[in-house]
Structure 1
Amino acid sequence: MRARFDLRVVALALSVACTTGIAQGTEKIDSIVGHAVAVVGSARILSARQSSPIAQDATISQGDTIETGADGYVYIATVDHGFISVRPDSSLTFERFQYDAAAPKQSVIKLVLHKGTMREVSGQGAQAARDHYRLNTPVAALGVRGTDFSVFTTADTTRADVRSGGIVMTPLGDSCLSSGSGPCEGPAAAQLFADQANTMLQVDRGSTHPLLVENRLPVISPQGAATQKSEDNAARSATEQTQGGVGVAPLELQFMHAIPEQTPRTVTPAPVPAPDPTPAPSVPAPPPKPEAQQVFWGRFAPLASQPADTTLDALLQQGSQRVDINMLFAMTRTPQPDMVMPAQGVFEFGLQKSAAYLVNAAAGTAVPGTISNASLSIDFGKRAFTTRLDLNASESTHSIVGRGAIGNDGILTSDYGSPASIHGALAGKTATQAGYLFLQSIDSKTMAVGATQWAR
């Protein structure tokens, strides 16, 4: 049975937030972030003094951290007329929140999303002082362009999408330090705006530039449409009421899991922990493990004194997908149900492994060759690829050239007019691996046959 908030309690909480904001008028607010207008499930507030459950209409101050459990949600109406939602299994710190109602451009806001998911509708402070707004995650820094956006992060990956306005995202590193304030600009930064539908920005630990990828995975809103609807209603209520209008009470604040109806409760502060005289030194996060190889090829036909490669047979029996087969080679790919290809950008891949032969089918001969000057370029915006390489065999060099299209499933297929027949596949979480088999006629009797493996 779906649980509902008591709308009268939510409306009263929003009214208190509104009255507080009006009473303060143009006074400068140095430490108050806002108020918790809705609290559901397991959620705590960690301050310099104590850790305790969050109560309805609790005051959130600069320096506080909001932590939610597996069923926890916290909606916050901020003093600069904005809205923040902290979703389940998340941790968000208000490292700095200084809003000057008399001079919003002087505001300074810095948040840290340690893990999980949050949504923010930027308030007047964030919109007026964009050069002084920063949201850090373990791997990225975000700035705003007057925005309604959501962010999901783990220790190694950050993804963000935009409902209105825009954001700028930059990987943390030497040119963008977590200790900084304001957005990190420059060649390592990328922007995303609301008119770029069904896309999101992604930064992985160690990457030098954000990827613009298809937003077809439920990572930004894992709790589904019910969460989105409740956030929309609460955001509208919070922003309209704190701006002094009548406001719109949330029509429906529901969640997909069953929770008991909220009842008033007495919050008992947890004991104040004794200070640690010797804080433990920070330990840097370990580097992410490289992705396992997911595109494989082997020579299925025996050649000269060399037997056929039986590795692919075992892979196929384990559920690997067959990509292609030509007169000498076969290729397989690990199933890719979660692969997300970049939505735009041209990326260069480097050759990792290859094998090639000059085959004379009439004579029954195959002369081994070596590959050099290899390149593979993929334009994800156009879903097209171009490739070339030199095949050196029998004291001669032959240029192998191919071009073609990339399907939605990441399969590479050469165009009709391509000199080389190319068939292959992309693989990896963000399409960082590739492989293809090629055939190209050298003369009326000789055919170039080969297999390649690539990475970016």
Structure 2
Amino acid sequence: MTALARLPLFPVLPPLRLPRLALLALALLCPLAGWCNVGAIERMKGTVQVLGTGGWRTASQGETLAEGERINTAEDSEALIRFTDGALMALRAKTQVQVTRYQYRQDKPKRHASLLQLVTGSFRFVTGLMGKAAPEAVRVTTPTATIGIRGTDFETAYVEERTADTEAGTYTRVIEGGTFMEGADGRRVEVDAGQTGFATSADLVARGLSSAVQVGLIRDPQGIFRDGSFDSTLKNLKQEGVNRLQQELRKQVPQELKGTLPGLLNDIFKR
């Protein structure tokens, strides 16, 4: 595996500041039909299972998800999840993700909270309104790292077994925007667009599955990140979310604000 770059540590990323008009528009969004759940399976391929209070169940397209549930994709299977704030998560094959917490409160932004736990496998994540208005509220955890965002499109993978080409640990690659990666020892590194971060743990090193306890940037590893069946639709789905929000806002905001909505929401989603 490519040696990790020696990098200076970075401070916690400051929260994104949206214009007052943007915050007003977001505050005016009331609960919409179909947006009362944590999220739903927008598209799927193969076998997808969900672990809820009643045990494991086989999922179907359009099925809603609740906070605390775990989603599992089988071999040669994938799922695309749309969360209540418009965020999109494309689960690759043989992936398991726990939605530990997902609270999008349109009327109370300070209560926004998103905590997704990648147990195994990999996914691509495109942030929604929560990630734009309150990026500090969005976190992804793996067995060896915590990843924070700042309005972004990124991929994360957790590799459990060492191979000839890869070390065991967490890999994250940024497509747009930026993330930061923090290891179990508290060390942190910023990952910008086009960069890949890596974090392992003392436990994996002790078990001979990784060779170094460190967090840093690496060259893009071969075979870790691969396009999924739904990647080509992510851009269109993201724009659909913008269009839907624009339509709902036009119904609810004062007349004098309606002319500003198209540019306003597009600006929010670009962040």
Aligned to 1:238: 237
What amino acid is aligned across from residue 240 of structure 1 in structure 2?
Q
Aligned to 1:200: 196
What amino acid is aligned across from residue 238 of structure 2 in structure 1?
T
Aligned length in residues: 202
Q: Tell me if the contact between 2:36 and 2:84 (Cα under 8 Å) persists in the aligned partners.
A: no
Q: 1:32 aligns to what SS in structure 2? A: coil
Return the structure number with greater helix share.
2
Q: Tell me if the contact between 1:30 and 1:97 (Cα under 8 Å) persists in the aligned partners.
A: no
Give the counterpart of 2:135 among 130, 135, 143: 130
How far 1:90 sits from its partner (Å)?
0.5
With over 3 angstroms needed to count, the CA separation of the structure-2 counterparts of 1:202 and 1:54, relative to structure 1, is same
Give the counterpart of 1:152 among 154, 157, 168: 157
How far 1:166 sits from its partner (Å)?
0.3
Q: 1:33-54 deviations in whole A, cap 9, x for unaligned?
A: 2111111111101112231111
Q: Tell me if the contact between 2:46 and 2:78 (Cα under 8 Å) persists in the aligned partners.
A: yes
Q: Tell me if the contact between 2:170 and 2:200 (Cα under 8 Å) persists in the aligned partners.
A: yes
Matched, 1:44 2:52: no
> What does residue range 96-107 of structure 1 map to in structure 2 within 5 Å?
96-107=101-112
What amino acid is aligned across from residue 48 of structure 2 in structure 1?
A
Return the structure number with greater strand share.
1
> What does residue range 264-303 of structure 1 map to in structure 2 within 5 Å?
none
Q: Distance in 2 between matches of 1:31 and 1:134?
A: 21
How far 1:240 sits from its partner (Å)?
2.5
Q: Tell me if the contact between 2:156 and 2:170 (Cα under 8 Å) persists in the aligned partners.
A: yes
How far 1:105 sits from its partner (Å)?
4.7
Aligned to 1:169: 181
What amino acid is aligned across from residue 72 of structure 2 in structure 1?
E
How far 1:171 sits from its partner (Å)?
0.7
Q: Distance in 2 between matches of 1:208 and 1:67?
A: 29
> What does residue range 190-229 of structure 1 map to in structure 2 within 5 Å?
190-194=189-193, 197=194, 199-206=195-202, 209-221=214-226, 224=227, 227=228
Q: Distance in 2 between matches of 1:215 and 1:153?
A: 15
What amino acid is aligned across from residue 51 of structure 1 in structure 2?
W
Q: 1:210-246 deviations in whole A, cap 9, x for unaligned?
A: 121110412022xx4xx26x3131x233322233449
Q: Distance in 2 between matches of 1:59 and 1:50?
A: 15
Q: 1:100 aligns to what SS in structure 2? A: coil
Q: Tell me if the contact between 2:51 and 2:71 (Cα under 8 Å) persists in the aligned partners.
A: yes
Q: Which structure ranks higher in relative contact order (CA pairs < 8 Å, sequence separation ≥ 6)?
A: 2
How far 1:126 sits from its partner (Å)?
2.3
> What does residue range 322-341 of structure 1 map to in structure 2 within 5 Å?
none
With over 3 angstroms needed to count, the CA separation of the structure-2 counterparts of 1:219 and 1:35, relative to structure 1, is same
Q: 1:115-171 deviations in whole A, cap 9, x for unaligned?
A: 001110011112222222211001000000111000010244000101100000011
Q: 2:85 aligns to what SS in structure 1? A: coil
Q: Distance in 2 between matches of 1:105 and 1:236?
A: 28
How far 1:86 sits from its partner (Å)?
0.8
Q: Tell me if the contact between 1:105 and 1:125 (Cα under 8 Å) persists in the aligned partners.
A: no
Q: Distance in 2 between matches of 1:208 and 1:30?
A: 42
What amino acid is aligned across from residue 236 of structure 1 in structure 2?
K
| Cα RMSD for the two superposed structures | 2.5
Q: 1:4-59 deviations in whole A, cap 9, x for unaligned?
A: xxxxxxxxxxxxxxxxxxxx942399972211111111110111223111111000
Q: Distance in 1 between matches of 2:94 and 2:45?
A: 13
Matched, 1:26 2:38: no
Q: Distance in 1 between matches of 2:68 and 2:35?
A: 11
**What TM-score results when the alignment is normalised by the length of structure 1?**
0.41
Q: Distance in 2 between matches of 1:89 and 1:152?
A: 11
Q: Distance in 2 between matches of 1:168 and 1:52?
A: 34
Give the counterpart of 1:119 among 103, 124, 128: 124
With over 3 angstroms needed to count, the CA separation of the structure-2 counterparts of 1:154 and 1:81, relative to structure 1, is same
Q: Tell me if the contact between 1:116 and 1:152 (Cα under 8 Å) persists in the aligned partners.
A: yes
How far 1:106 sits from its partner (Å)?
3.1
Query: Structure 1: 5+ residue runs without aligned partners?
Result: 1-23, 176-187, 248-456
With over 3 angstroms needed to count, the CA separation of the structure-2 counterparts of 1:202 and 1:152, relative to structure 1, is same
Percent identity, please: 21
